Every structure is written in C-alpha cells, then in structure tokens.
Structure 1
Amino acid sequence: MVDVVRDQGSVPRPTRRMWLRIFLVGLALWVATVVVIFLTGNPNLIPTLVLLGSFLVPVTFVVWAFERRGTGELTAGLIFSTFLTGGVLGVLGASVLESYLLHPSPWLFFGVGLIEEGVKFVALMVLTRHLRTRSLRDGMILGAAVGFGFAAFESAGYAFTALFTVDGLSIIQLVQSELIRGLLAPVGHGLWTAILGGILFATSRRGRFTITGKLVLSYLGVSILHGLWDSMHSIALYLTLLLTEGERLRPSPQGWLIEPSAEQVNLFSILQWVGLAVISIIGIAWLIVLWRRSARLDRVAPPIHVPPSVYGTGR
C-alpha cells in the first residue's frame, strides 16, 4: 500500500530535472541569439531575443514546481493554461485597473501591489474552480504558474520598452533589462502568488473557495511585500538623502534634481539591494513554511476532494 501511494505522488524518473534541461537549452539559445544579433545587426531577431529572455526563467521555475506536484490531477495541460491564460489575464486586468484607479502619490506602489496581486488571485480562482482535488501544495504550484506567467509577459513588455532610447534602438539595454529581471524573477510575482494560491486551496471548504480572515491577511501581506519591492528605489533614495549631508540640489524645468556624490551613489545601491534582499528572504521563508506544512499534511491527511455534484456536471 505504501508503495502505491508513493508511486501516485511521485514524478516518473525520466521527467526529473527536466527544468534543468529546459534552462540550459534555453540559456544557450538566448546567448546564441544575442551573439548573432550583435554580429549581423538583424532586427528581425529582436522578438526572438525578447521572448527567450522573458520566458526562460519563469518557464524553468514552473517546470521545477510541476515536478514536485502533490496530486495526479495537476497535469501539464492545466499548468500550461494557468501560466498562459492567467499571465495574460493578470497583465490585462492590472493594466486597466492601474490606468483608472491609480494616481501619483507616495502610496502608488502599494496600490500597484494590491491591484496586481488581486487580479492574479482572481485569475487563479477562475482557472482552477473545477478542480476536484485541492491541496496546499497544488495551490502553491498553480499560483506560481499564474504568477510566473504574469512575470513573463510583464518582462517582455519592459524588455521591449528598454529597446527604445533617444539615440535609437539599444540591444545592450534590452539585454541588461532581461538579465536583471531574469535574476529577480524567482523572488517576485511567482513567489507571491504561490503563497496566496497555497493558502487559497488550504482554506477551501465543501468544494468551494472561501474568503477567510487568514486568506485576506495573506493577500494584504503579499501585496505589502509587492509594494515594498516596487518602491524600494524611492525608499533607498529617501534614506540616502536622510543619511548623508551636503547633497547638492539644483533647479530644472522638471523640478529639483540632485547631483549625487560618489558616497551617495554607493550608499543608494547598497540600501536598494539590501532592501530587496530582506523582502526576498521574508517571502522565501513564508513559502518554505507553507511547503513544509504541505508535506506534513500529505502524510497525515489526503487533499480536499471536491464532489462532482458541486459543479452540476459529471466531471
């Protein structure tokens, strides 16, 4: 009996480390594309570069998470649909809501966090409402799929925007944008939505998603982490001005501009990266706690089974 359960909850050996093969092959293709673009100057390769660089890390992490799924109902097709559809719906919904609801203010980035985490959360609920079996681990994996899908499409937009400068097209800025966002992708959208997805599935009751106090607090928590992440540049700048003396301000048509000293530039960089590191550590620690809890739950109790009658179908 133990062997059967173990076989059902494990991933066939040939699919293990598929994420590593995908990452290495994708990275080689991305590097080759960069080299060929610089050698030939062929602008037709720019879409290839944007897509490879934007989707490589998100897809890799989704495959890594899929290999650690808890139930057999979590199929590759479901993961792909939540990644693609959830990502597009999230980006479109966030764009519309941010355009109409947000205005320049000190709290702008926290509004962005509330909106983007909210639309990803709703997309996850809509795409997974018909699942018969729900476990904390599967909720984390599906949440990560939606979050990384959002991150991939968002990164593609930032990479495309970075291409255009006052001096014309800049492949260097595009590559720099993809490198930075690729390195930071694992501790961004995928991480936050994985946390929220796990708690959403864990708090399901009688076959329905239930909005509980714990779920609301978790939503606010990941939104705050998101807002702090996005506003870290401004926070680091403010702290730099507060901690240093003799900063030089000069008027300009755009307002007051600062001429930073070398000390200020170094301090600003340190504060910004330390702040991002602290936010990342908090998110990762939260995720690890949930993941370990999911492992304990899998040992002592089966995942929540949703009766087919809940949906009024024979599924």
Structure 2
Amino acid sequence: MSEWYFKKNEQKVGPFTNVEMIALYRKKEINNLTLVQKSPHPEWVAFKQTELHQHALNHGNSELKIGNLFSAVFKKHSKEEGEKVFIAGTKYTTPATSDIPHTWPHPWVFSRVFLVLIITYFLLLACTYLFDNSNTIPGLMVIGSFAVPFSVLLFFFETNAPRNISVFDVVKMFFIGGVAALVATLVIYSIIPVGKLNYFNALLVGFIEETGKMIIVALFIRSLNSKYILNGLLIGAAVGAGFAAFESLGYAFNYSVDAAFLFKDIHIAGETMMNVIFSRGWQSIGGHVVWAAITGAALVIAKGDQKLGMHHIFTGTFWKWFIIPIALHFVWDCPFNPLPAIAFKQIVLIVIVWFVILRLISKGLKQVSVISAASKATK
C-alpha cells in the first residue's frame, strides 16, 4: 500500500493512505498546490499532479441529485436490463472494488415489481368482490400488505452500488430477518410492557421496536461483514420491509375480524380490511422499511472498517443516526396529530425520513468513490 506525505509549514506530515489523502483533500486540509510525496519516491509534487487528484474530483458525481434518481422509472427498458439487476451479488457478478460505480443510481425495476403486485392485488380484488369468492381473501391481504414494503426494498437493492448482496440474501433477510425482528421486539415488550399510547409510551414503543429491528440488522451486518453504507441501507431495509409486511398483514386480519364481530356485517369487515391495507400500504414508504434502513447505515458508519461488535452500538457515532428512527417512530405514534383527515403528520414525517435517506445514499456513494479511487491508485 502506498504511503503519502504532505508539507505543512515546511514540516513533513504523514504517512497517509490513498483513502486518507483523498479525505484530506475533500476536507480542504490540503489543496491542489500542496506539495506531496509518495513513498518510496523522493520527489515532491503538487497534489494536482498526482493520480489521486482525479479520483478526488469524482466527489461531485455523488452529490445529491434527486431529479436523476427516479429518471429511469418512466423510460422503456428491455427484459435483459431487468435480468441484469437481479443477477447482482453473486460470486461471478460482484464487481471489483475499483469498478464500482459511484454516480447516482437510476433504479427502475422496483416500480415494475410494484406494478406487477398492484395488478395481482386488483385481480384478487375482482375475484373476491365480483365473484363473491372468499377463498381469495387471504391472498388479497398478503399481496396488499407486501406490495409497498417489498417494492421499497427493491429500490434499496438497486441503489446498492457495490452490487455485493444477492437477491437470495435479500429475500432471506426479508423473511427470516423480518420475522426475527418481530420476535425480538415481542421479547423486549414482554420485559418492558407498554400501555395506552400516551407520549411516554409512544417513546417506549419507538425505542423498543427500533431496538428489536436493530438487533437483527446488526446480526446480518456482522454475518456479511458489510463495509459499505449502501450495504447497511439495504440490509436494514430488508429487515424493516419484512417487519412492516407481516405487521400490516396482522393488522389487516385483526381489524377485519374485530369489525365482523362488532358489526355482524361481512361487508363492513371487508371495508375495514381494505382501509387498513391502503392506509398502511402508502404510509409504509416512510415507516419501518426506511427507519431500519437508517439503522443499518448507522451500524456500518459506526463500525468503519472493523468487524461489527457490541461496543460500536454504544458509540456517539451510532446514536447520532439511530436516534433519528426512534424520534420519527415516537412522533408517528404519539397523540399529537394535526389534520388527521389528510394524514398531515405522516406526510411530513415521510418527507423528513426520505431527506435523511437521500443524504445517506449520497454519503454512501461518496464512500464508494473514495474506496474505488484508492483501489485504482494502488494498481
């Protein structure tokens, strides 16, 4: 590995790695004219004359560009393009570190999968209500509850620039991780019981449920030894999506059964189920999926290049990010609810959480840029 030095006040400072030198440049601790030396070469040259300079300039490619992020959704794509997305993450398709793209991704497959699930949902709806076929009600609840969380998860799969996590791993984390997070949460609830949702209990709910998901996300990150922030976002989203989907399915079932017993009317029970599926569906774009994604990114940021350990969970670096999903969850559940008819609180919280998510994606792309640049510089 190359060792770099730079001159500051006629003093030789170093040594630094490629990654550290690029980071110093981006923090403006060194500039284009700073004299640097690459060991074992004796000559001193301006930083702009080194191979690191161009890699450092790639920083601009990972700046936040929301408009471009969804630009591919409304474009026509071939079947081969879609297949290329789903073969990512295997031993044969994971790109070398130096070849990882660090420009803003253009995800689109998630929108097609969402469309497929919505069409399936309406076909089941037709079976249920046009033909009075009650056999399709379970399928209606399952597809309705899974459609949005799973589609949002695929968005994170597409934005995972390192392409080092396979579809199989994602599905495994969605099902096993999502249900394991529910189990972890219920275990904590058995230790810390929560009553009616006042402000204090809403805070408890936020802490308990985010901690339950965090435990499972941490286990997957440790198992995969993920070092990229974008990996953390994907792993967290997978666990959160599974958690959200199964929880919504439970709510749809329980509320419809309660309505049937209360009103003795199967039509009211059906309307209740539909309302729960719809409200929890669109609101899930700003709920458990993205909350857990933030937690996953926080764990990766906290551990850095080390293997994730218990001590990382108690660092300020982790809590600086982990407090965000806890706070958002608290506000989501607390009694404060202005303009409930238009779900004003939920809409505001969705906007806030996606601002955080986009900043983390940007941060993740910058990390990829630095690591990729360092890898190229050592070749």
- 167-176 or 43-52, larger mean C-alpha shift: 167-176
How big is the shift at 1:115? 0.7
Aligned pair 1:235/2:235, yes or no?
no
For 1:215 and 1:6, the matched residues in 2 are separated by 25
Amino acid in the other structure paired with 2:160: R
Contact 1:8-1:72 at 8 Å conserved across structures: no
Tell me which residue corresponds to 1:20: 111
Tell me which residue corresponds to 2:319: 216
Which of 341, 347, 359 is residue 269 of structure 1 equivalent to? 341
Amino acid in the other structure paired with 1:58: P
- 217-226 or 94-103, larger mean C-alpha shift: 94-103
Contact 1:93-1:119 at 8 Å conserved across structures: yes
Tell me which residue corresponds to 1:259: none
SS in structure 1 opposite 2:130? Answer: helix
Any residues of structure 2 matched to 1:39-58 within 5 Å, and which? 39-58=130-149
Contact 2:97-2:372 at 8 Å conserved across structures: no
Structure 2 vs 1, CA of residues 99 and 40 (structure 1 numbering), >3 Å: closer, same or farther?
Answer: farther
Contact 1:151-1:190 at 8 Å conserved across structures: yes
For 1:213 and 1:135, the matched residues in 2 are separated by 19
TM-score (norm 1): 0.77
How big is the shift at 1:62? 1.2
Aligned pair 1:289/2:359, yes or no?
yes
For 1:196 and 1:29, the matched residues in 2 are separated by 32
Structure 2 vs 1, CA of residues 222 and 80 (structure 1 numbering), >3 Å: closer, same or farther?
Answer: same
Tell me which residue corresponds to 1:207: 307
How big is the shift at 1:208? 2.6
Structure 2 vs 1, CA of residues 96 and 203 (structure 1 numbering), >3 Å: closer, same or farther?
Answer: closer
Aligned pair 1:183/2:279, yes or no?
no
For 1:133 and 1:53, the matched residues in 2 are separated by 32
For 2:301 and 2:320, the matched residues in 1 are separated by 14
Tell me which residue corresponds to 1:59: 150
How big is the shift at 1:198? 0.7
Which of 134, 140, 147 is residue 240 of structure 2 equivalent to? 147
For 2:118 and 2:98, the matched residues in 1 are separated by 32
Which of 203, 227, 231 is residue 110 of structure 1 equivalent to? 203
SS in structure 2 opposite 1:62? Answer: helix
Contact 1:102-1:111 at 8 Å conserved across structures: no
Identity of aligned residues (%): 27
Structure 2 vs 1, CA of residues 88 and 121 (structure 1 numbering), >3 Å: closer, same or farther?
Answer: same
Amino acid in the other structure paired with 1:66: F
C-alpha distance after superposition, 1:152-185 (max 9, x if no partner): 0000001111222112432221111111111111
Structure 2 vs 1, CA of residues 101 and 16 (structure 1 numbering), >3 Å: closer, same or farther?
Answer: closer
Any residues of structure 2 matched to 1:56-135 within 5 Å, and which? 56-104=147-195, 106=198, 107-135=200-228
Amino acid in the other structure paired with 1:185: S
Amino acid in the other structure paired with 1:197: G
C-alpha distance after superposition, 1:230-267 (max 9, x if no partner): 12xx213xx7xxxxxxxxxxxxxxxxxxxxxxxxxxx5
For 1:183 and 1:134, the matched residues in 2 are separated by 31
Contact 1:196-1:218 at 8 Å conserved across structures: yes
For 1:44 and 1:71, the matched residues in 2 are separated by 43
SS in structure 2 opposite 1:40? Answer: coil
How big is the shift at 1:99? 4.3
Amino acid in the other structure paired with 1:202: I
Normalized per residue, the structure richer in helix is 1
Structure 2 vs 1, CA of residues 110 and 191 (structure 1 numbering), >3 Å: closer, same or farther?
Answer: same
Structure 2 residue ranges without an equivalent (≥5):
1-54, 56-94, 374-379
Structure 2 vs 1, CA of residues 108 and 16 (structure 1 numbering), >3 Å: closer, same or farther?
Answer: closer
How big is the shift at 1:97? 2.5
Aligned CA RMSD, in angstroms, stands at 2.6
Aligned pair 1:193/2:292, yes or no?
yes
Alignment: residue pair count:
266
Tell me which residue corresponds to 2:229: 136
Structure 2 vs 1, CA of residues 197 and 46 (structure 1 numbering), >3 Å: closer, same or farther?
Answer: same
Contact 2:178-2:243 at 8 Å conserved across structures: yes
TM-score (norm 2): 0.65
Amino acid in the other structure paired with 2:279: I
Aligned pair 1:280/2:280, yes or no?
no
Contact 2:194-2:205 at 8 Å conserved across structures: no
Amino acid in the other structure paired with 1:298: V
Contact 1:70-1:135 at 8 Å conserved across structures: no
